[in-house]
Amino acid sequence: MTEQTPAPRRRRRIRKAILVTAGVLIGIPALLATGLTVWDGGANLDPQRELLPGVAINLRTAETERGPIEYDLHGTDGPVVLSVHAGLGGADQGRLFASWLQDDGYRILSPSRPGYLGTPLSSGRTLDEQADLLAALLDELHIDRVGVLAVSAGSPVAYTFAARHPERVWGLVSIGGVSLPNPDASATSPLRAAFVNAIVQKLAKLTASVSLESIVSSTLNETSTFTDEQKAERARYIMDTKDVRLFFEAMFETTFPYEKRMPGTANDSLQTREMGIAFDRITAPTLILHGTQDGDVPFEHGANAAARIPGARHHWMPDEEHLGFWLSPRAEDAQRAARAFLHEHAPQR
């Protein structure tokens, strides 16, 4: 047998090395993707859990005439404030976003809107259906009237509730609320939703565990029109201020797992294509708060609501982003204005 020449042997070794390298390069991402798919993401869905020190939830489900709805009710006495959560949220997020009120003598009612956590989307897809579901929840809990605290994508439901059930609302506060239609809005495709649910959310969780600051910075990219310098300054403030950092971490947790929150988020997007909110039928005292550098819900949404709701007051937050009401060095100023407004209009205690 003729001995194989060195050149063919060398080419054979090179081909083998290329195949091994390719296998490794393909195999590592495949193993990572498989691992992320199997991993549950570490989301805590215990219905009784602490969100922050001193801020806990006890989730229950009410069977109303409009369908089941999950909720948390904090406190045993005082006027009720209905907290209507934002997109990718749920009752836990509603409770968290209203936590600045928990020592003010209010009961805080935080429902999961349809398509979020334990409330099925079948309980109400349209704004009208969701508003009527909230009224049915009040009936089930024997609550006559509420103050309403709404945030971001929850504001259209709150505006609709106040317009359809004016006798149930003693005051309305909207923070960074959506009020204008978005004809280009579209729901996430099933394939993309599955990918986001299985992989992207878990990568975000892993990133947060390694570098929370990178998640803070990414969030500010979405929620603000800040300059790079402003974003860096705000990120430093959030990271260096213990209570604010803990709040950000808790807020981040109230967006997981995506599969429990994505149906409602996608539905919110669809409902904004055409929003025929009857702002002129809102009779409750109303306060609109909005940051002038909101990159998530542009400032004109706040200006629109303030102009169209009869007698509405506003508190603009200069040079503030979408989450400035909680994450800004000036957050207490905005919270003080909202607190004073609610105190002014709350029923006698």
The DSSP-derived string for 212-248 is HHHHHHHHHHHHB---HHHHHHHHHHHHH-HHHHHHH
DSSP string across 296-349:
SS-HHHHHHHHHHSTT-EEEEETT--TTHHHHSTTHHHHHHHHHHHHHHHSPP-
Q: What is the pLDDT of residue 15?
A: 54
Convert the pLDDT of each residue in 67-116 to its tens digit.
Answer: 999 999 999 999 999 999 999 999 999 999 999 999 999 999 999 999 99
How far is Cα 138 from Cα 161, in angstroms, rounded to an integer? 12
For residue range 277-316, what is the model confidence (pLDDT) as tens digits?
Answer: 999 999 999 999 999 999 999 999 999 999 999 999 999 9
pLDDT tens for 223-268 read 999 999 999 999 999 999 999 999 999 999 999 888 899 999 999 9
% the chain with pLDDT above 70: 84
Return all residues near 299 (Cβ < 8 A) that are at least 6 apart.
290, 291, 292, 293, 316
Triad 263, 266, 270: Cα angle to 5°: 130
> H/E element holding 58?
strand 55-58
Question: Binning pLDDT at 50, 70 and 90, where does residue 22 land?
Answer: very low
* DSSP element (H, E) containing 33: helix 6-38
Give residue 24's pLDDT band: very low, low, confident or very high (50, 70, 90). very low
pLDDT at 203: 77
Higher pLDDT, 37 or 167: 167
pLDDT for res 20: 46
Q: Residue 71 corresponds to which tokens in the numbers above?
A: 């909720």
pLDDT range class, residue 4, cuts 50, 70, 90: very low
d(CA 247, CA 273): 32
Domain spanning 48-185+260-345, CATH class: alpha beta
Assess whether pLDDT exceeds 50 at residue 2: no
Alpha helix (H) residue ranges in 254-311: 262-271, 299-308
Which pLDDT belongs to residue 211?
A: 86
Read off the DSSP letter of residue 346. Answer: S
Q: How far apart are CA 169 and CA 161, in angstroms?
A: 8
Q: Residues 110-166: pLDDT tens digits?
A: 999 999 999 999 999 999 999 999 999 999 999 999 999 999 999 999 999 999 999
pLDDT band at 205 (very low <50, low <70, confident <90, very high): confident
Output 33 or 328, whichever has higher pLDDT. Answer: 328
The answer for 307, left when phi > 0, alpha when psi is -120 to 50, beta otherwise, is alpha
Q: Is the pLDDT score of 326 beyond 80?
A: yes
pLDDT value of residue 3: 45
Peptide bond before residue 257 is cis, with ω within 30 degrees of 0: yes
Closest CA to 150 of 330, 267, 302, 329: 302
DSSP label of 76: S
Strand, coil or helix: 202: helix
247-256: b (≥16 Cβ within 10 Å) or e: bbbbbbbbbb
**Phi/psi class of residue 78: alpha, beta or left (left: φ > 0; alpha: ψ in -120 to 50)?**
left
Q: What is the pLDDT of residue 268?
A: 96
Domain residue ranges in the chain: 48-185+260-345
CB 201 within 8 A of CB 256: yes
* pLDDT number for residue 212: 93
